[in-house]
Amino acid sequence: METVSLSRSFEGSAADVRAAMTDLGPFMEAAGFDEVTVDGDRIEITNHVGLLTITLSLRRLDTGVALAYEQVDGVFDTMETRYTLSEGEGTVTVTATTDFELDAALVGPILDGTIISRQRRRELTGQFDYLERVAATPAE
């Protein structure tokens, strides 16, 4: 199992940040995916990574965190992402953590954990940039 985790603190309210995150279409599009379709708690994403096109079917989870989802169909044996919020005085820190295990039979030598981790960090950074634009400002 591999893990990618990224945090960023914002000035603003947890309610505003949570609302921006749970508007799933724009929030997932901010990750830079090539295609995003949201239907209730189901999310379909398509992304081109190098020579490979990756399509994932995700399901939103009710785990008590701000947002969580897992892969139900795609290139991973398992993949789950959780976004947690922690409030300070006038700030909120968002921590996004993705745990994944690659299905070696599907991706083989084309992708490895390093490439996936690098790509995932870019996606999470895009989402944090989106949160800065629509819900909060970066904390000093």
Three-state SS string over 57-112 comes to EEEECCCCCCEEEEEEECCEEEEEEEEEEEECCCEEEEEEEEEEEECHHHHCCCCC
Q: Output the average pLDDT for the chain.
A: 88
pLDDT for res 118: 87
Q: Distance (Å, rounded) from C-alpha 81 to C-alpha 69?
A: 6
The pLDDT confidence band at residue 130, using thresholds 50, 70 and 90, is very high
Q: Which positions ≥6 away from 138 have C-beta within 8 Å? A: 8, 9, 10, 11, 132
What tokens does 3 get? 């893990």
pLDDT at 120 over 80: yes
Q: Across the chain, how many H-helices and E-strands are there? A: 4, 8
Structure tokens given for 109: 């030598």
- The string of pLDDT tens digits covering residues 25-61 is 999 999 999 999 999 999 999 988 777 788 999 999 9
The full length of the chain comes to: 140
32: region left, alpha or beta (phi > 0 left; psi from -120 to 50 alpha): left
% of residues, the chain, pLDDT over 90: 67
Determine the topology of domain 2-134 in CATH.
Alpha-D-Glucose-1,6-Bisphosphate; Chain A, domain 4 (3.30.530)
Is 1 a residue whose pLDDT tops 90? no
CB 123 within 8 A of CB 33: yes
Q: Which of 64, 69, 18, 60 is nearest to 40 (CA)?
A: 60
Residue 68 has pLDDT above 80, yes or no: yes
